[in-house]
Every structure is written in structure tokens, then in C-alpha cells.
Amino acid sequence: MRTSNCLLWLAASLCFDLATASPVKPTVDPSNRPSCVPAESPARNKICYVDSHNDQLTDDSNYILSALHECNNGGHVVFPANQSYLIGTALDLTFLQHVDLDIQGDILFSDDTDYWQANAFQQVFQNATTFFQLGGKDVNVYGGGTLDGNGQVWYDLYAEDIYILRPILFGTIGLHKGSISNLNLRYSPQWYNFVANSTNVVFSDISISSYSKSNNTAKNTDGWDTYRSDSITIQNSVVNNGDDCVSFKPNSTNILVQNMHCNGSHGISVGSLGQYANEIDIVSNILVTNINMSNATDGARIKVWPGNPAALSGDLQGGGGGGVVKNVTYDGMQITNVDYAIEVTQCYGQKNETLCFQNPSSLRIEDITFKNIHGTTSGEYAPLVGTIVCSSDTTCSNIRAEDIDVVGPSGSDEFACLNVDDSLLIGLNCSAVTSQSN
Ligand SMILES: *[C@@H]1O[C@H](CO)[C@@H](O)[C@H](O)[C@H]1NC(C)=O
Ligand SMILES: *[C@@H]1O[C@H](CO)[C@@H](O)[C@H](O)[C@H]1NC(C)=O
Ligand SMILES: *[C@@H]1O[C@H](CO)[C@@H](O)[C@H](O)[C@H]1NC(C)=O
Ligand SMILES: *[C@@H]1O[C@H](CO)[C@@H](O)[C@H](O)[C@H]1NC(C)=O
Ligand SMILES: *[C@@H]1O[C@H](CO)[C@@H](O)[C@H](O)[C@H]1NC(C)=O
Ligand SMILES: *[C@@H]1O[C@H](CO)[C@@H](O)[C@H](O)[C@H]1NC(C)=O
Ligand SMILES: *[C@@H]1O[C@H](CO)[C@@H](O)[C@H](O)[C@H]1NC(C)=O
Ligand SMILES: *[C@@H]1O[C@H](CO)[C@@H](O)[C@H](O)[C@H]1NC(C)=O
Ligand SMILES: *[C@@H]1O[C@H](CO)[C@@H](O)[C@H](O)[C@H]1NC(C)=O
Ligand SMILES: *[C@@H]1O[C@H](CO)[C@@H](O)[C@H](O)[C@H]1NC(C)=O
Ligand SMILES: *[C@@H]1O[C@H](CO)[C@@H](O)[C@H](O)[C@H]1NC(C)=O
């Protein structure tokens, strides 16, 4: 697992041709790459500039595709600063190999909701779709530019119909060895990053932010969701959103999340898992460390569906799936105004605990450590500051806590601990007997 730092990329300066009042190609040095680029990544020896209509009205997708094809296998593709792009076509970028995308300019995705619903890439899991899919081997994306998902039109449409398919802004699909760093991600229609079928990828120095200008909130704006992926690092990033800051979906292994500032989120979450009956979900070897968590519903969270079907909402239902959550460590989290500092549930989606306990989860939770979690909750569930609820006394084992110092605004520090071994929860005040949230 990598722990590299990613220094900020120093964007090459852009010259401006006063005579024609149009930007000229900036001078770039392809050897000037962020330090999170894998050391084994060979130097790039060709430069391609991506042309643009520069009006954010005309689709620039063909310019992008032709630059990527021209510079694939050893090139450095520049989207110059002061140049803006519109993407109105679903781009399959899984052919990339040994190429750097130096995105200094701004990329906007078109607001044609009919087009995207028909053409965005279907990733199957939870009906996820992505504007583009970027994959291949040895690909690095950086440059300080912005990808803007034009989310407002989607937030408003979703308020009318929860079954519309809202594209994910950044699809990292089948990428093996690479890095995505120093980018601004704005106004995603739903999740910001979906990382699937990928290995050995580092995300670093990413800024995420969205808000809705209407009364329809921007929903399901997860920062990252990892799925069927191994050896992924997510670090040094700031996330302002309204759903999971980072979420480990089925078959996420060897993941490091460190040095994150999450504001307004649903915490850093394992799951939800066990949603699909007859499927096996594995999440293992996860380390989450040095996190600031503010204005959130949760800090450290593990959510697993019970053994029988349950419905959280019309478009989110499930339960009955098997598998295991194993070897997950949360070490170092400062919380401020967070509803639950720690929330572990094997009753996700089932508000009736009696029903949950009658049909315990088929997905086990093992070898979990929570430590160095400090700060104050919001008081939303006072006197509770956290909850650890397994669906039977045999479906969880070795859940440990130490050095937890969390209180509510009025000083209470109770945890609801059900079907877990309290003696391993050192210092937790497991005096409460009630209940959990969704
Ligand atoms: C070009 O971009 C730079 C950096 O983003 C900015 O400082 C400068 O004002 C821009 N120039 C023009 C003419 O837009
Ligand atoms: C991942 O790979 C599997 C197996 O090749 C494939 O079925 C699936 O569509 C791919 N993508 C995702 C998002 O799972
Ligand atoms: C996709 O959404 C439909 C409802 O529109 C739901 O019935 C189905 O289970 C969802 N599929 C997945 C894989 O989540
Ligand atoms: C949002 O809701 C409030 C209260 O219901 C209303 O006064 C306001 O006009 C609404 N704003 C917009 C932009 O719809
Ligand atoms: C967390 O917040 C503290 C206090 O504001 C700050 O010193 C620290 O750098 C922050 N760490 C991260 C990873 O954001
Ligand atoms: C954090 O999120 C809250 C909403 O939950 C927002 O009001 C505030 O501006 C955000 N803080 C920062 C620094 O963006
Ligand atoms: C996850 O891994 C398990 C164990 O290897 C496998 O049975 C299952 O099919 C995988 N699930 C997905 C969605 O790839
Ligand atoms: C547990 O996960 C960590 C990564 O967080 C890894 O370093 C360690 O080797 C794993 N332990 C076992 C027993 O697999
Ligand atoms: C939390 O939200 C409040 C507004 O609700 C905001 O003032 C504060 O800056 C937020 N905290 C952080 C760390 O962003
Ligand atoms: C919860 O489920 C149990 C068992 O089916 C039932 O007896 C009880 O009435 C349910 N409680 C609520 C609040 O629905
Ligand atoms: C646990 O919480 C209860 C109820 O708030 C309180 O009376 C008790 O003093 C707490 N115990 C400890 C050890 O903090």
C-alpha cells in the first residue's frame, strides 16, 4: 500500500497572444509530474494539445478523443488553462495506456439529461452510470483544472422522479496503475468518483464541492465509491458534500484513506453491503487515518443489510447478501458537529430491530478497530454519541475500540452496543439500550 505524498503540480505558465486575443499553447514540461505518479511510470515524450471551440456550447468531445488517440502510448495531453471544454458525448476512455492527461482548463458536461440517461456508461452496480469511463494501464490525470457535472439540472429532475439515472462525474473503470490528482470536481449529478475494477491507483489533492441553488438538495453526492478494486489510496483531499465522504462498496480490498477533510457528509463508510441476495461482498484490509469530519451524520461507519429484504426507499432496497467485512481500522479522526461518531449496523434499511434480529445478516463483521476518535457530536441522538449494533451475537467478532473521547453538546457519551463484546470496547460508555438510525 502506498503512502506517498503528492506535491502540488506547478502548472506551466500560459502565454497569451495579445494580437489575436486567443490563448497560445502553454509551454509544458512533461517530466514535471506530481509525486504521486507511480515511480515505474515511464517518461512521456510527446505533447498533444486538446483543441476547443472554447464556447462551452459546442461539443468538444471529438477534439478530446483525437488528442488522446494521437498521444496514447507515451504522450502528455494538455488541456490548456484559459481554455474551456464542453463534453456532450459519452467517452469510452478505457483504451488509454502510458499517457498523462494534464487538465489545466475547465471541462463542463452538457445538461442534456435525455442524452445522458440513454448514453452514459451503465456500471450495473446500484444502477450507477458514468459520464465517461477512464481505464487502461499507466494513466495519470492532473493539472489543477476543473470538471463540472452541471448538477443543478439533475438535482431538480431527481426531485421530480427518483428513478432517473444521474451520471457519476468521474468513472475510473478498469484502471491499473495510475494517479488522479490536483483537480477540482464540481456539481456532480450524484457520486463524484466511482472506482471499479481498478488496481494500484492513487487519488490525491482533489477538491470536491457542490451545492444546489434551488430548494432541491444535491443528493447522493458521495466523494468516492470503490468497487471490485484493490490497492487504492485516497488522500490529501477536501470534500464538501451531502453523502458518504468515501465509501467502500463490495470487493474493496487494501484501501488507504488518509489526510482528508470531510464537511457535510455521511462519514467514511463501509457499505452498504449485503444488499443483493446470492452475492458475496468482501471488504478487507482498510485503513482510514488522519481525518477531519465536520457537519456530518456519521464519522466512522459500517452499514450492512440484514438477512431478509428491507427497503430504505423506493430506489434503495435489499438484504440477504453474504460475505465479510474484515480487518478495517479507523485510526485518528477529529469530529465536530457529527451525529454519530461511530455507527456500526447490521440492520441497514430495516427500521424494525425485532425483524432484523429475527433474520440476522449473512454478512459477517470481523477484526474492526476504532481508535483515536475525538471531538463533539451534534447532539442529534443525545444522549447517544454512537451505536454498534450487530444483528445476532454470532455475526460479529473482534470489534475493538480504544482512545475514543467523544461527547455530545450536553456532555453525554452513551453508546448503544448490541450483540457485541463490550469488554473489547475500551472506554466506551455502552450504557444505552436503544437503537440506531438509518
Ligand atoms: C489565464 O489564466 C490565468 C490562470 O488561470 C489567469 O490568471 C489569467 O487571468 C487568464 N487570462 C485570461 C486572459 O483569461
Ligand atoms: C468489471 O469487470 C467485470 C468482469 O469482467 C464486468 O462484468 C463488469 O461489467 C466490470 N465493470 C464493473 C463496474 O463491475
Ligand atoms: C435499478 O433500479 C430499479 C428501479 O428503478 C430497481 O428495481 C433495481 O433493483 C435496480 N438495480 C440495481 C442493480 O440496483
Ligand atoms: C424554497 O422554499 C421556500 C420555503 O418553502 C420558498 O419561500 C422559496 O421561494 C423557495 N425557493 C426556491 C428557489 O424555490
Ligand atoms: C484538521 O484540522 C486541523 C485543525 O483545523 C488542522 O490543523 C489539520 O491540518 C486538519 N487536517 C486535515 C487532514 O484536514
Ligand atoms: C461545510 O458544510 C456546511 C453545510 O453543512 C456549509 O454551510 C459550510 O459552508 C461548509 N464549510 C466549508 C468550509 O465549506
Ligand atoms: C466479490 O468477491 C467474491 C469472492 O471472491 C465473489 O464471489 C463475488 O462474486 C465478487 N463480487 C463481485 C460483485 O465482483
Ligand atoms: C490489515 O490491513 C492492513 C491495511 O490496513 C494491512 O497492512 C495488514 O497487513 C492487514 N492485516 C492482515 C492480517 O491481513
Ligand atoms: C460546519 O458548518 C458550519 C455552518 O453550518 C460552518 O460554519 C463551518 O465552517 C462548518 N465546518 C467546517 C469545518 O467546514
Ligand atoms: C416489528 O416487527 C415485529 C415482528 O414482526 C412486530 O411484532 C412489531 O409489531 C413490529 N414493530 C413495528 C413498530 O412495526
Ligand atoms: C455513562 O452514561 C450514563 C448516562 O448518561 C452516565 O450516568 C454514566 O456516568 C456514564 N458512565 C461513564 C463511565 O461515563
Residues 107-163: pLDDT tens digits?
A: 999 999 999 999 999 999 989 999 999 999 999 999 999 999 999 999 999 999 999
pLDDT averaged over the chain? Answer: 93
Q: How confident is the model at residue 18 (pLDDT cuts 50, 70, 90)?
A: very low
Asked if the model's pLDDT at residue 20 lies above 50, the reply is no
Which is catalytic among the residues 98, 176, 261, 266?
A: 266
Q: How confident is the model at residue 14 (pLDDT cuts 50, 70, 90)?
A: very low
The preferred substitution site among 14, 24, 104 for testing ligand 1, maximizing ligand atoms within 8 Å of CB, is: 14
Burial of 142 (0-12, 13-18, 19+ CB in 10 A): buried
14 lines ligand 1 (CB under 6 A): yes
Q: How confident is the model at residue 338 (pLDDT cuts 50, 70, 90)?
A: very high
Domains of the chain and CATH, by start? 76-431 (2.160.20.10)
Query: What is residue 434's predicted lDDT score, i.e. its pLDDT?
Result: 53
Query: What is residue 433's predicted lDDT score, i.e. its pLDDT?
Result: 62
Query: What is residue 317's predicted lDDT score, i.e. its pLDDT?
Result: 81
**Helical H runs in 72-122?**
113-119
d(CA 31, CA 33): 6
Nearest-CA residue for atom 14 of ligand 10:
352
Asked if the model's pLDDT at residue 23 lies above 70, the reply is no
Which cell goes with 210? 457542490
Assess contact for 243 and 222: CB atoms under 8 A: yes
Query: What is residue 199's predicted lDDT score, i.e. its pLDDT?
Result: 98
Tell which atom from ligand 6 comes closest to the C-alpha of 264.
5
Query: What is residue 35's predicted lDDT score, i.e. its pLDDT?
Result: 96
Give the residue from 354, 273, 289, 366 showing the smallest Cα distance to 321. Answer: 273
The preferred substitution site among 377, 404, 406, 413 for testing ligand 11, maximizing ligand atoms within 8 Å of CB, is: 413
Tell which atom from ligand 5 comes closest to the C-alpha of 238.
14
Mean pLDDT of 41-61: 97
Which cell goes with 188? 456532480
322 lines ligand 7 (CB under 6 A): no
Give the list of residues 6+ apart from residue 215 with CB closer than 8 angstroms, or none: none
Assess contact for 29 and 143: CB atoms under 8 A: no
Q: How confident is the model at residue 104 (pLDDT cuts 50, 70, 90)?
A: very high
Q: DSSP letters along 262-278, please?
A: EESS--EEEEEES-STT
Query: What is residue 44's predicted lDDT score, i.e. its pLDDT?
Result: 98
**Distance from the Cα of residue 393 to its chain's centroid:** 31
Query: What is residue 431's predicted lDDT score, i.e. its pLDDT?
Result: 87
- % the chain with pLDDT above 90: 88
Mean pLDDT of 78-82: 96
Active site residue 266: yes
DSSP summary character for residue 54? S
Give the residue from 41, 38, 42, 31 showing the smallest Cα distance to 9. Answer: 31
| Strand duo 16-17 + 22-23: pairing | antiparallel
Residue type present at position 407: V
Query: What is residue 311's predicted lDDT score, i.e. its pLDDT?
Result: 77
DSSP summary character for residue 144? S
More confident residue, 164 or 20: 164
Q: Which of 207-216, 218-227, 304-313 has the lowest mean pLDDT?
A: 304-313
For residue 245, what are the CA distances in angstroms to 108, 192, 260, 299, 303?
23, 10, 9, 10, 14
Mean pLDDT of 83-102: 98
d(CA 324, CA 396): 10
Asked if the model's pLDDT at residue 438 lies above 70, the reply is no
Query: What is residue 256's predicted lDDT score, i.e. its pLDDT?
Result: 98
Tens digit of each residue's pLDDT (9 = 90 or more) over 380-390:
999 999 999 99
Query: What is residue 90's predicted lDDT score, i.e. its pLDDT?
Result: 98
pTM: 0.93
Query: What is residue 26's predicted lDDT score, i.e. its pLDDT?
Result: 82
Tens digit of each residue's pLDDT (9 = 90 or more) over 238-296:
999 999 999 999 999 999 999 999 999 999 999 999 999 999 999 999 999 999 999 99
Phi then psi for residue 153, to 5 deg, are -65, -30
| Strand duo 84-87 + 106-109: pairing | parallel
Asked if the model's pLDDT at residue 21 lies above 60, the reply is no
